[in-house]
Structure 1
């Protein structure tokens, strides 16, 4: 049976915006190439207007989370 991506993800702790690969914890924004590669894929699926709205909201929420210290605490 072939492995899938779910076989590599840890589901012990789930937090929005944080990916767990074994013992590694990283935010989506840490993966620069992957993050910027999302935009064209999202635009192809849902259009430019919705992509702009979703990424703007994600950026705003991420900024608030970072200033409140939630992101750092989730990776410790």
Structure 2
């Protein structure tokens, strides 16, 4: 092992959360994750609850409606 590499003791399986981009769903990524024992999770194609701009617009819309 080189001096730049570090090892960590993991008590839980690492997880990565990806969006629906094609390059995140290819076999290369899935195979590497399998080899490294990484659990992959994918977001739904559209989720307004997870989008920061959607949350901001919702708050602004509510304030606008309440000010009229």
TM-score (norm 2): 0.28
Structure having the larger proportion of residues in helix: 1
Identify which of structures 1 and 2 has the higher relative contact order when contacts are C-alpha pairs closer than 8 Å and 6+ apart: 2
